[in-house]
């Protein structure tokens, strides 16, 4: 059975975006500067990273069967131009589904986080469900639906911005010992919950 | 020449203390539960941790010649009962030196962060100066005085509290590739600036 895995590129001081939606060039720089090419599902878009990071990312793409995102990210990226880089089914939690996306990899769920995770699990067909950090990951954490947290820890201090989970108003959540891969410009960590 | 190194035990979501000064049992749990004993300079106080963590901590104690703390931490710990666990000289940045500490390992500096670092470097005699995270580390970062950041990353989400450096109001600060030691209940990271 697949797991529900929240993931993000995060600065060492705990931010997944800098002040005023800045810092993405720094947070995702490790996907752009290396020697190893990783093909995405978007035509013509290739990522370039270190061999160690490519190994981690490829394993992650193979183990992921569906992705869960919020409406904000869907709108911000204009639905990734019709195709998420990951290439598989994407569940979008929203209050009101947009028109014109009926025949697409995107499935819109309006009944809340538990229904969205349930639908993503069906679509993942035994593989993992990837959840973007921020609001969606926080809702999954609060609902007790997360199995693991994957952090790409980037050696930069942003000094402010959007925190990984925000203030989730729960008792502290203990995680297990992480799998760690040290790469150029990023340390990949995967923690079981 | 020694380096100026800010260090802290930090939760995965970027806090060096939980809400309302909570969470220290979780943040410093890795110093209490293992099989390897590390003697401190405080009589009778022994830390117990994993062999991997003990190796990191012993190397750190050997390379550190002086410690720099703020008055808040000094007061909070009542001057560590007269002896910091580290055992060497401790510089305290304060507006007004307390009475009765003339013949002690503590040196009080009132002339600001640059003077405090300067004095700590003299006392460290070629070895590193350790700076506690939070206010002191932020002041060192802002003044361009930090050479490295050492993070003991603890697999817990605190959901709020005191951030590592706070909002430091600078452009993003890029760090180098870290030395990483994965241990039980903690991942030790040391980044050059």
Mean pLDDT by 10 residues, chain A (193 residues): 94 92 93 92 89 96 96 91 92 95 95 98 97 88 95 95 82 94 95 95
Does residue B124 surpass a pLDDT of 90?
yes
Does B174 sit within 8 Å of A26, measured CB to CB?
A: yes
Please provide the DSSP assignment of A7-37 as one string.
EEEEETTSEEE-GGG--HHHHTGGGTSSSEE
Angle between helices B135-142 and B113-124 (to 10 degrees): 100
Longest dimension (CA), chain B: 45
In sequence order, the β-bridge partners of residue B36 are B49
What is the mean pLDDT of the segment spanning B103-126?
97
Does A165 sit within 8 Å of B157, measured CB to CB?
A: yes
Tell which of B152, B172, B181 to mutate to test the A interface (max A CBs under 10 Å): B172
pLDDT of residue B132: 84
Does residue B8 surpass a pLDDT of 80?
yes
Query: In this structure, is the dihedral angle defined by the CA atoms of residues B75, B78, B84 and B89, taken in order, positive or negative?
Result: positive
- Chain A: nearest CA to B184, how far in angstroms? 7
Q: Which residues of A touch B13 (CB under 8 A)?
A: 14, 163-165
Domain tally for chain B?
1
The pLDDT tens digits of the residues spanning B146-155 come to 999 999 999 9
- Number of A to B CB contacts under 8 A, please give it: 112
- Nearest chain B residue to A14 by CA: give it: B14
Lookup: tokens for A124: 């993942």
CATH number of the domain within which B106 lies:
3.40.430.10
ipTM, two decimals, is 0.89
Does B168 sit within 8 Å of A159, measured CB to CB?
A: yes
Q: Could you give the percent of chain B with pLDDT greater than 90?
A: 80
pLDDT of residue A42: 83
What is the mean pLDDT of the segment spanning B59-68?
96
Sequence-separated (6 or more) residues with CB below 8 Å from residue B84: B41, B42, B67, B90, B105
Chain B contact for A170 (CB, 8 A cutoff): yes
Tell which of B53, B149, B157 to mutate to test the A interface (max A CBs under 10 Å): B157
- Nearest chain B residue to A159 by CA: give it: B167
Sequence-separated (6 or more) residues with CB below 8 Å from residue B118: none
CB atoms within 10 A of CB A145: 21
B114 SS3 class: helix
Beta carbons of B54 and B184 less than 8 angstroms apart: no
Residue A37 belongs to domain spanning:
4-192
pLDDT of residue A169: 79
- Tally of CA atoms within 13 A in the half-sphere of A193 that contains its CB: 19
- Nearest chain A residue to B158 by CA: give it: A172
Per-residue exposure over B141-168, b if at least 16 CB sit within 10 Å of its own CB, e if not: bbeebbebbbbbbbbbbbbbbbbbbbeb
What is the mean pLDDT of the segment spanning B94-111?
95
Does residue B133 surpass a pLDDT of 80?
no
pLDDT of residue A170: 81
Beta carbons of A15 and A23 less than 8 angstroms apart: yes
The H or E element containing residue A90 is strand A90-93
- Chain A: nearest CA to B15, how far in angstroms? 8
pLDDT of residue B106: 97
pLDDT of residue B180: 95
pLDDT of residue B186: 97
B57 SS3 class: helix
pLDDT of residue A177: 93
pLDDT of residue A21: 83
Sequence-separated (6 or more) residues with CB below 8 Å from residue B76: none
pLDDT band at B172 (very low <50, low <70, confident <90, very high): very high
Long-range contacts formed by B95-101: CB under 8 A, 24+ apart: B95/B71
Chain B contact for A143 (CB, 8 A cutoff): no
B9 SS3 class: strand
Question: Which of A96, A64, A101 minimizes the C-alpha distance to A81?
Answer: A101
Q: Which residues of B touch A189 (CB under 8 A)?
A: 12, 153, 187
In sequence order, the β-bridge partners of residue A87 are none
Tell which of A159, A165, A167, A193 to mutate to test the B interface (max B CBs under 10 Å): A159
């Amino acid at each position: 059975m697949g797991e529900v895995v929240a993931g993000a590129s995060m600065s060492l001081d705990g931010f997944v975006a800098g002040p005023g939606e800045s810092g993405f060039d720094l947070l995702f720089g490790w996907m752009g500067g290396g020697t190893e090419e990783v093909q995405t599902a978007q035509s013509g878009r290739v990522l370039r990273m270190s061999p160690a990071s490519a190994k981690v990312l490829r394993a992650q793409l193979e183990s992921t069967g569906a992705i869960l995102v919020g409406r904000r990210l869907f709108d911000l990226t204009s639905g990734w131009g019709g195709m998420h880089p990951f290439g598989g089914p994407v569940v979008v939690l929203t209050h009101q589904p947009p028109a014109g996306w009926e025949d697409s990899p995107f499935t819109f769920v309006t009944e809340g986080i538990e229904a969205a995770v349930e639908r993503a699990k069906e679509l993942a067909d035994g593989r993992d469900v990837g959840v973007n950090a921020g609001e969606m990951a926080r809702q999954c954490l609060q609902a007790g639906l997360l199995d693991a947290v994957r952090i790409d820890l980037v050696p930069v201090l942003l000094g402010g911005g959007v925190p990984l989970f925000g203030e989730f108003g729960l008792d502290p959540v203990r995680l297990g010992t992480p799998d760690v891969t040290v790469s150029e410009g990023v340390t990949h960590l995967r923690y079981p919950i």
